[in-house]
């Protein structure tokens, strides 16, 4: 399901940055280093364009895709034997109910105050896509970060190569004409590369643990309370590193960096470690 979109300054800034970096990389860095009409220049331009296209495609999908809306007709079935876990409120122990949306919340769903709706497996609300990151668009958001990191580092390498090539040719007058572009690009690419790499590392960690950002912070509190009571807290959706990867990115490793997401299910029920324990006990 696609959603409506209104003007967003952060999104405009991201689109402008992508356009600026692409133009500078292809028509300045590659051209100054290799020349666009050479075989090396054409190869680098084609590869970088491919990365940029995938980056823009996944970014657009993350913006316009509905992150996962909780059906208004959803009702938790506490008698269903297939549902091994029902999330309850911290206080009172009742099933989780959203007063603002007037319906029950399935496991891992949370209400977003910005979007004013409950989002399935909500990770966080991202101002840079003017949308929530949730069950239906988490993978494309992650894949966008992967391509963005590749594009930034690739462009940064080409920038350094272009500057080095200019200095070796000793074309002072020609190099001076691109100096402002080099400076602006460096000031943009260096912090972007660092910030996006940190963000990528964070979400790789979350995927390996099968946690959302919200669940990570809730887990810190739950771990503290468990240790206080002499117990050990275990994240119920942690199925092991490989199973966690396939749950989020898909069963085929060749599709992990593709925007396909047919494997994700409806977002109302997720496999838990208790399912694996039950299956093991039945098999024995």
Rounded to whole angstroms, the Cα distance separating 199 from 193 reads 10
Structure tokens at 255: 């599709």
User: Taking the chain, what is the end-to-end CA distance rounded to the nearest angstrom?
Assistant: 43
Structure tokens at 205: 């960690």
In this structure, are residues 67 and 122 in contact, taking their beta carbons and an 8 Å threshold? yes
Place of tokens 């894949």: 143
Rounded to whole angstroms, the Cα distance separating 240 from 141 reads 22
Burial of 181 (0-12, 13-18, 19+ CB in 10 A): middle
- Which residue is catalytic, options 126, 132, 152, 258? 126
Element (H, E) at 142: helix 138-169
Rounded to whole angstroms, the Cα distance separating 61 from 118 reads 20
101 is catalytic: no
Three-state SS at 98: strand
In this structure, are residues 205 and 123 in contact, taking their beta carbons and an 8 Å threshold? no
Structure tokens at 277: 């324990």
**Which residues are catalytic, by number?**
126
């Amino acid at each position: 399901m696609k959603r409506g979109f209104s003007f967003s300054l952060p999104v405009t800034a991201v689109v402008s940055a992508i356009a600026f970096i692409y133009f500078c990389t292809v028509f300045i860095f590659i051209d100054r280093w290799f020349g666009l009409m050479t075989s090396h220049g054409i190869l680098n331009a084609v590869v970088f364009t491919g990365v940029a296209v995938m980056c823009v495609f996944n970014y657009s999908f993350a913006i316009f895709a509905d992150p996962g809306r909780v059906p208004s007709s959803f009702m938790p079935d506490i008698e269903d034997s297939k549902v091994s876990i029902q999330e309850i409120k911290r206080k009172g122990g009742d099933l989780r109910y959203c007063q603002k949306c007037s319906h029950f919340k399935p496991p891992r769903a949370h209400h977003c105050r910005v979007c004013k709706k409950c989002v399935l497996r909500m990770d966080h609300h991202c101002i840079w896509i003017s949308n929530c990151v949730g069950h239906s668009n988490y993978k494309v958001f992650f894949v966008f970060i992967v391509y963005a990191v590749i594009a930034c580092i690739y462009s940064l390498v080409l920038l350094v190569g272009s500057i080095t090539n200019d200095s070796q040719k000793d074309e002072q007058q020609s190099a001076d004409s691109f100096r402002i572009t080099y400076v602006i690009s460096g000031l943009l690419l260096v912090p972007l590369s660092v910030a996006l790499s940190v963000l990528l590392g964070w979400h790789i960690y979350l995927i390996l643990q099968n946690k959302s950002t919200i669940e990570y912070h809730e887990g810190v509190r739950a771990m503290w309370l468990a240790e206080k009571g002499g117990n050990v807290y275990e994240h119920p959706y942690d199925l092991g590193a490989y199973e966690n990867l396939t749950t989020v990115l898909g069963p085929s490793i060749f599709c992990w960096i593709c925007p396909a997401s047919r494997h994700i299910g409806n977002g109302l029920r997720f496999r838990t470690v208790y399912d694996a324990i039950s299956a093991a006990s039945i098999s024995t």
